[in-house]
């Protein structure tokens, strides 16, 4: 998606194509899966349709292993769900508008709830590898926002979005009703793709961050701008830099995500009908 394109019009066009290909008039909730979460997708349930993102427009192919360029349409109870099997990142050379295109497309197609997932490094010492953590707030250190550039077209909310309640307390309470062991934490979003230094992790801890990753914050901003409720879940795939004996490795992050993603899938399978 070029900087000159109207990202809202592009999302509207993608949403219209998505509804046509899925054979559905609208959708209720969207889930965006993080690195290595295919087991979660399979645990959530069988798809009515699976649509390649390339057919929708505005979606570049991901260049990171563990992300599949497709969206599944499935029904959980009375909730019509869009399940994005991966995402793209700014560090792949994408603009913020491209990074949040999936979220904007889902909301343009009717979704009023957005569930974001990611693989994250654990800054809080008590977090264990494989542990899911609800995101209660974020610190956006990417230096970017999906709301920069020309103002949104007429009919869309002001770009000056209030992020006081970026992550829905109501949705976090519902998640804890399904799994009372869920912890909460603050997520720090950095641009990547390199991992942080131990000094940066000490800085992040001092700023109040409990988790660190390279996604989610911009998608949350875009979703809240359009009025959708957001639930975000991090899967701790590694201790953050300086907190583990071994060097950080993306293959090990993917392996940790794959081994624990089914648990998150089971949680989402139980939670989605209640949204």
Could you tell me if 233 and 184 are in contact, meaning their C-beta atoms sit under 8 angstroms apart? no
Catalytic residue among 94, 215, 234, 260: 215
Let me know how long the chain is: 275
Catalytic residue among 11, 15, 38, 89: 89
3-state secondary structure of 145: coil
Catalytic residue among 97, 119, 175, 189: 119
Please say if 67 is a catalytic residue.
yes
Catalytic residue among 15, 22, 35, 256: 35
3-state secondary structure of 228: coil
Could you tell me if 163 and 170 are in contact, meaning their C-beta atoms sit under 8 angstroms apart? no
**Distance between alpha carbon 246 and the CA centroid of its chain, in Å?**
27
Catalytic residue among 13, 200, 250, 252: 250
Please say if 89 is a catalytic residue.
yes
Please say if 91 is a catalytic residue.
yes
Catalytic residue among 214, 240, 241, 256: 214
Please say if 73 is a catalytic residue.
no
Catalytic residue among 1, 67, 234, 240: 67
Between β-strands 29-32 and 113-122, what pairing exists: parallel, antiparallel or unpaired? parallel
Residue 239 tokens, joined: 């201790």
Please say if 214 is a catalytic residue.
yes
Please say whether the dihedral angle defined by the alpha carbons of residues 210, 211, 216 and 218, taken in this order, is positive or negative.
positive
Please say if 22 is a catalytic residue.
no
Catalytic residue among 12, 92, 200, 252: 92
Catalytic residue among 14, 118, 238, 260: 238
Buried b (16+ CB within 10 A) or exposed e, 17-51: bbbeebebeebbbbbbbbbbbbbbbebbbebeeeb
Please say if 38 is a catalytic residue.
no
Catalytic residue among 13, 43, 48, 91: 91
Residue 275 tokens, joined: 């949204």
Q: DSSP of 17-82, one letter per residue?
A: HHHHHHT-S--SEEEE--TT-HHHHHHH---SEEEEGGGTSS-PPP-STT--SEEEEEEETTEEEE
Please say if 215 is a catalytic residue.
yes
The residues carrying an active-site annotation are 35, 67, 89, 91-92, 119, 214-215, 238, 250
């Amino acid at each position: 998606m070029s900087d000159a394109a109207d990202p809202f019009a592009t999302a509207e066009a993608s949403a219209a194509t998505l509804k046509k290909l899925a054979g559905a008039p609208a959708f209720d909730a969207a889930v965006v899966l993080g690195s290595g979460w295919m087991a979660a997708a399979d645990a959530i349930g069988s798809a009515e349709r699976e649509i390649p993102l390339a057919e929708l427009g505005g979606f570049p192919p991901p260049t990171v292993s563990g992300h599949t360029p497709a969206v599944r349409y499935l029904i959980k109870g009375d909730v019509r769900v869009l399940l994005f099997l991966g995402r793209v990142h700014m560090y792949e050379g994408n603009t913020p508008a491209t990074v949040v295109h999936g979220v904007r497309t889902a909301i343009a197609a009717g979704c009023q709830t957005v569930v974001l997932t990611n693989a994250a490094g654990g800054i809080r010492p008590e977090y264990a590898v494989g542990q899911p953590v609800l995101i209660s707030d974020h610190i956006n250190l990417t230096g970017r926002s999906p709301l920069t550039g020309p103002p949104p077209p007429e009919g869309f909310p002001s770009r000056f979005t209030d992020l006081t309640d970026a992550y829905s307390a109501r949705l976090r309470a519902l998640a804890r009703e399904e799994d009372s062991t869920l912890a909460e934490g603050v997520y720090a979003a950095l641009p990547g793709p390199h991992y942080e230094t131990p000094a940066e992790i000490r800085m992040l801890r001092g700023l109040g961050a409990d988790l660190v990753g390279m996604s989610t914050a911009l998608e949350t901003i875009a979703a809240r701008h359009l009025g959708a409720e957001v639930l975000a879940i991090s899967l701790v795939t590694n201790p953050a830099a300086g907190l583990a004996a071994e060097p950080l490795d993306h293959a090990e992050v993917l392996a940790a995500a794959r081994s624990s993603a089914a648990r998150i899938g089971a949680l989402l399978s139980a939670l989605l009908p209640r949204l």
